[in-house]
Amino acid sequence: MMFIDPHIHMNARTTDDYEAMAAAGVVAVIEPAFWLGQPRTSVDTYIDYLSTLVGWERFRASQFGIRHYCTIGLNSKEANNEALAEAVMEILPRFATKEGVVAIGEIGYDEQTALEDKYFRAQLELARELEMMVMIHTPHRDKTKGTRRSMDVCLEHGLDPRMVVIDHNNEETVKETLDRGFWAAFTLYPQTKMGSERMVDVVRRFGTERIFIDSSADWGKSDPLAVPKTGRLMLARGIPAADVHKVCYGNALACYGQSGQFDEKDWLAPAPIDQRVLYEGNSVLRGQAPRVDEGPAGDSPVEAMREEDLLIV
Amino acid sequence: MPTPLALLTGWLDRQLDGPAAEWLRGRLAHLAGAHGDRDLYVAVGLVPRKLGKADLALTGDDLGAAHAARKGWDPTGWSVDQAARLALLLTASHRGEAFFEAFHQLWRTADVGEQISFYRGLPLLPEPARHLWRATDGCRTNIKAVFESIAHRNPYPAEHFDEVAWNQMCLKALFVGAPLHPIQGLDARHNGPLARMMTDYAFERWAASRPVSWELWRCVGPHPDDRCLIALERAIQQHEDSLTAGAAALACATSHAPAATALLAHASNDTRKAIEAGTLTWAALCARAGA
């Protein structure tokens, strides 16, 4: 089974993770621009970070046969540093149009301050100007209100909810997100966000329309195999394979495919120029024997896992 | 004779469909006049979204025209987006210093595709020597396609790199698995330190029981010190059908050093005959290697 992880911070992950993800069937990832666990203090480090997302990290992923895409934005935490935020807003247009940038994101609220609101709105306007999708990070604290407010502001700025992903949903926010026509993403992240058993229940209760899952794996305790593990758990709990496919692959593809930058052909039948530039398989792995390309269905480590190993709680 | 810019726009106009060609013409017309930095940034950034990334369709005549317009310019393997980005840059370059500053900013925020376009375009840009640091810095990349955009089919390194940068580029090509033969000026810029570096590298690889690039001997033949000769002798005695034995023999045959030509005694009869007949050439070896 093929998987897409439409929210993962590969910049913070190791080559072991890439190998495990590829072996588990992950064929494409989206890496949203976010903060690094500590605040940046200048626009120059921001430029280097965003350059990594559109350059080095894309290449690094391609070495493992995984296609890498990203979103570009000023995150809500760093929006609170006004001098930095102003400078970042200046350079964002230069990154937003790069190849493989599927959305402006992840943007939204953290503490729901006035500055967060100001730069959230400025970026929604940028998305409108550049006709781009938006990926919304919903806050950990005061979540329900923050999620509602995020959607209110998107509509206020005239965005089409079909072009907006509300991420980090939970049982309390999903109904409103879907009812208002937005895409609802769920993050399988131990302890703070969704667990995999709960996700099985969400799919049972809310179906699979406009719902998809991601790992948001980053520099914290998180799981880069969260999508394939949860997919496997869904199968084990009797969710039909077609539904699992939608939640773990098809819906993310349909959603971000609207950007024109996220196409199944990229990994199933890459264009020759792309293969030369960004899909070199494993030929450039220094000093290592090339992995025999067993295809996405190969010996998935997740296939062999016991059910309790699939649980993310 | 048409300028490189005229050639690029002609090729693109011929290949692009209506709306794409129209978008590009509009942007070129705008950048040819007074414009702001942001206009250039956004136009360069949007190119793949607007024009796609198909291979640039070129005929033999086109390649000839390219070489005539700018000696050494070889757009083999270029794509539409690369050609278009370069056309935009060349068009905007009338702004002088303001252009160089904007280009510096573009380079700072370039993605992989843009980096490749910019490096391939180096020899066509005004005042190419100003970009020397960028070019040598670009050779430090770990992204093979970016490295090759500088090293391969590009007259810039042979024209501008000093010996240290040149030698590092040639040796690094082997490290990233890039062939040597597409490097322009490879035979013209041979030098003693490069022969020694290549030889040391061969010994390192042999010591580790790893394969040694057959192409490496091409850089060793012209300047064989004693250690190089030992290495050449070892290489020339490998299996007679091997690319390595052929390449080492050819390197010895074309060397002006008598000690190197003397090593031909170790080559097989067939190899010596092929060299005398002119059928064993670097091009023939490349063809055999499928390169």
The three-state (H, E, C) secondary structure of chain B, written as one string: CCCHHHHHHHHHHHHCCHHHHHHHHHHHHHHHCCCCHHHHHHHHHHHHHHHCCCECCCCHHHHHHHHHHCCCCCCCCCEHHHHHHHHHHHHHHHHCHHHHHHHHHHHHCCCHHHHHHHHHHHHHCCCHHHHHHHHHHHCCCCCHHHHHHHHCCCCHHHHHCCHHHHHHHHHHHHHCCCCCCCCCCCCCCCCHHHHHHHHHHHHHHHHCCCCCCHHHHHHHCCCCCHHHHHHHHHHHCCCCCCHHHHHHHHHHHCCCCHHHHHHHHHCCHHHHHHHHHCCCCHHHHHHHHCC
pLDDT digits (tens, 9 = 90+) for B210-231: 999 999 999 999 999 999 999 9
pLDDT tens digit at each of 313 positions of chain A? 899 999 999 999 999 999 999 999 999 999 999 999 888 999 999 999 999 999 999 999 998 899 999 999 999 999 999 999 999 999 999 999 999 999 999 999 999 999 999 999 999 999 999 999 999 999 999 999 999 999 999 999 999 999 999 999 999 999 999 999 999 999 999 888 889 999 999 999 999 999 999 999 999 999 999 999 999 999 999 999 999 999 999 999 999 999 999 999 999 887 777 777 766 543 333 334 434 444 444 567 888 888 888 888 8
Instruction: Return the structure tokens found at A271.
Output: 């264009």
Chain B interface includes A51 (CB < 8 A): yes
Q: Return the residue in B49, B50, B105, B152 with the most chain A beta carbons within 10 A, the one to mutate for interface testing.
A: B49
With an 8 Å Cβ cutoff, are B79 and A280 in contact? Answer: no
- Predicted ipTM beyond 0.85: no
With an 8 Å Cβ cutoff, are B111 and A272 in contact? Answer: no
Separation between Cα atoms, residue B138 and residue B44, nearest integer Å: 19
Chain A interface includes B72 (CB < 8 A): no
Structural contact between residues B129 and B64, judged by C-beta atoms closer than 8 angstroms: no
pLDDT at A283: 34
Total CB pairs under 8 A between chain A and B: 71
With an 8 Å Cβ cutoff, are B53 and A271 in contact? Answer: yes
Chain A interface includes B46 (CB < 8 A): yes
Nearest CA in chain B to A271: B54
| Residues A181-190: b if buried by 16+ CB within 10 A, e if exposed | ebbbbbbbbb
Name the DSSP letter for residue A139: P
Q: Where are the domains of chain A?
A: 3-280
Chain B residues with CB inside 8 Å of A95's CB? 109
Chain A residues with CB inside 8 Å of B108's CB? 47, 51
- From the list A55, A261, A283, which residue is nearest B177 (CB)? A283
Chain A interface includes B137 (CB < 8 A): no
Chain A residues with CB inside 8 Å of B109's CB? 47, 50-51, 91, 94-95
Nearest CA in chain A to B176: A284
Cα dihedral B237, B242, B247, B249 sign = positive
Chain A interface includes B53 (CB < 8 A): yes
Structural contact between residues B54 and B15, judged by C-beta atoms closer than 8 angstroms: yes
Q: What pTM was estimated for this model as a whole?
A: 0.88
Chain A interface includes B145 (CB < 8 A): yes
| CA-angle at B108, arms to B102 and B112, nearest 5° | 115
- CATH fold label, A3-280: TIM Barrel (3.20.20)
Nearest CA in chain A to B39: A94
Label the pairing between strands A101-108 and A133-137: parallel
Q: How far is B267 from chain A (nearest CA, A)?
A: 31
